[in-house]
Structure formats: structure tokens, C-alpha cells
Amino acid sequence: MNEPIKKIAVLTSGGDAPGMNAAIRAVVRACTYYRVDCIGVYRGYQGLIEGDMESLSARHVSNIINRGGTILKSARSEEFRTKEGRAKAYENLKKAGVGALVIIGGDGTFTGGLKFIEEFNFPVVGIPGTIDNDIYGTDNTIGYDTALNTVVEVIDKIRDTASSHNRLFFIEVMGRDAGFIALNAGIGAGAEEILIPEKNLGLDRLVESLDKSREKGKTSSLVVVSEGDKIGKNVFELADFIKEKYPFYDIRVSVLGHMQRGGSPSCYDRVLASRLGVAAVEALLDRTSGVMVGITNNEVTSVGFNKAIKMNHDINEELLKVAEITSV
């Protein structure tokens, strides 16, 4: 670990997120700036196991800052969960003369990174890239802001048709076990009710809220349901339940799905990714390992993988209040 780092590898793993390319670009260019070689690993940890890598120069990452997805591709590798798989990955890194690794992804990615450090004492730094924003140690993960804007744009369109037909819409959004997308996009799109896993409001509360909306003369309603919410676990069943209780409602369900992961990254995500890409390379060159770099209160910070994975990134209670007040 005390030899100078001459080559850094970078990979993207887990669900892709808009802004991952901007992060790859920043890592590659920071390497160029600090005169370190950079190598891109394809398909995340699986590519590491198979030795699927390619040297990247600053010019290889031209014209990608604006592109969604990840030029390095992404995967969830079962083999990397095994000791044998990780040993193959380590051998390939050594063979390629790589001295340190930047991993871009979410908690599964960091869990893999942690294991790798424990077993091989190999320097690894993480960059949070997931639309879910469910990582502790950064105010925002890369891709979250773009996903929010995508969701709001789509809900605005759904609002047009909901209003024309006096309909009640249940709109399911991603986020895995976290409600950040639902809560913030719900507020941004002016939803009547927002269902998130962190605050299980229960069916009674939803029914009460729909009753109130009708009493106040609302002719159409938008309910944003986080995919991880308990009562919204199956949004179609939820819609059926409400239809049975209130047959007069003309109900439709819209599951937004993977469109939330695509598209050109917002300026916010591009800047975030650029800052974190540079910070990750600088951290490795400073001999730091086992941390995820993040931005907290507009400052670059770092937090151990253990904390990033295990601690909760709390839902802001004030947002819940704002959602309630602004939907009267």
C-alpha cells in the first residue's frame, strides 16, 4: 500500500444513474491531471473478474458529460459475492498494474468494495451513484436530481389528463426502500398524497385524505406511491381497494419504471459528479481508502463505507409538513 499509485481503475456497478458518465469523465481527467494512468472496467465487478478492462485517456471521455447511462456499462455480479470471484478480480487488477480502484454505485457496490479491502488490503474509494438517494454521507447521490426532474415532468403530463377526465391517479415511482424520490417529486409536482416507506401512513390516512380532497371540491387527484411503501407494495391492489370503497372514482395507475433512470443528467448532477470524481482520485492519491466521497452542505466530505451503507439517510420531517400543508 505504500508504493506510489501509478494506475487507477474505475467501474460503475448496480443500477445505472444519470451522471455516472460525468463521474467517469472526472475520474479519468483527474488521473490525467495528476499524471496517473486510468483504466476503465466494463460491467462493474463482473468485468473485474473477467479482466474486461481498457485504458482510458482524457480524450476517451470526450462528449460524455451530457449522456445518461454509463459508457462502462453496469452489472450486479453474483460471482463477486464469492471469495473466489473476488480473488480473480484482485489478480486481474495486479496483472494490469492497478494500484487503486474507484467504484461508482450504491450500497451493494460499497459492500463489495468493503469486502475487497478487508480481504486484499487494496485501496478503494467510492462515489455515490444511484437515483434512490439512499446513501448516508452525502446530501445527494449522483442521478437523484435528474430522476426527480424526470418524474416531475412526467407527473405534470399525467396531471393534464387526470384533470381533463376528473380522474384519480396512483403514480408509482422508484426508490427501492427509500421514499426520497416520491416525497420530493410529489411536492414538486403538487401531489395530493405521497406514500413513502419511512412514514407508513396506512390506508385510513389515505382514505381520509381522499375524502377531504373531495369535500374541498377537488375533481382530480394525484397520489405518488414509492415502490417501497408498505400499503403501496402493489399499487394495482391499492387502486383496487380504493375503487371498491369508492366506486365513483375513475382510477388509473401509472408505474413510471425505468424511464426514471435514463436521460441526460441535470446540471446539478453533472457538477456533483465532476466534484466527486476529482475528490475520489485525490483521496486515493492521499492514501485514503475505504471511504465514500460525498457533498454535505456544499463541502466535499468523506465517510467510511460501513457508515455509508448502514446508517440511514433521514427523511426531512419539514418536507412531510410542507407536503401536507400545500395539498390542502
Report the interface residues with ligand F6P, using CB under 6 A: 15, 106, 130-132, 174-176, 227, 261
Length of the chain: 328
d(CA 16, CA 20): 7
Answer whether 47's CB lies under 8 Å from 35's CB.
no
Cα 286 from chain centre: 27
d(CA 176, CA 135): 12
Strand-pair partners of 193: 223
Least distance in Å: CB of 209 to ligand F6P?
Answer: 25
d(CA 120, CA 85): 13
Identify the H or E element spanning 112.
helix 107-120
Q: Of 179 and 277, which CB lies nearer to ligand F6P in the complex structure?
A: 179
Q: Of 193 and 227, which CB lies nearer to ligand F6P in the complex structure?
A: 227
d(CA 36, CA 220): 58
What are the grid coordinates assigned to 328, written together?
A: 390542502
Least distance in Å: CB of 174 to ligand F6P?
Answer: 3
**Residue type at 245 in one-letter notation:** K
**Residue type at 201 in one-letter notation:** L
Least distance in Å: CB of 132 to ligand F6P?
Answer: 5
Q: Of 256 and 283, which CB lies nearer to ligand F6P in the complex structure?
A: 256
Least distance in Å: CB of 122 to ligand F6P?
Answer: 25
Of 132, 145, 229, 269, which is the active-site residue?
132
**Residue type at 54 in one-letter notation:** E
Q: Of 29 and 261, which CB lies nearer to ligand F6P in the complex structure?
A: 261
Least distance in Å: CB of 131 to ligand F6P?
Answer: 6
Instruction: Name the DSSP letter for residue 103.
Output: E
Q: Of 189 and 278, which CB lies nearer to ligand F6P in the complex structure?
A: 189
Instruction: Name the DSSP letter for residue 252.
Output: E
Least distance in Å: CB of 225 to ligand F6P?
Answer: 13
Reduced to 3 states (helix: H, G, I; strand: E, B; else coil), residue 99 is: coil
Phi/psi at 228 (nearest 5 deg)?
A: -90, 0
**Cβ-based neighbours of 232, under 8 Å, separated by 6 or more:** 170, 172, 195, 225, 226, 238
314 is catalytic: no
Q: Of 139 and 282, which CB lies nearer to ligand F6P in the complex structure?
A: 139
Cα 182 from chain centre: 13
Least distance in Å: CB of 40 to ligand F6P?
Answer: 21
Q: Of 143 and 290, which CB lies nearer to ligand F6P in the complex structure?
A: 143
Within 10 A of 76 (CB to CB), how many other CB atoms are there? 17
Answer whether 254's CB lies under 8 Å from 9's CB.
no
Residues forming the active site: 132
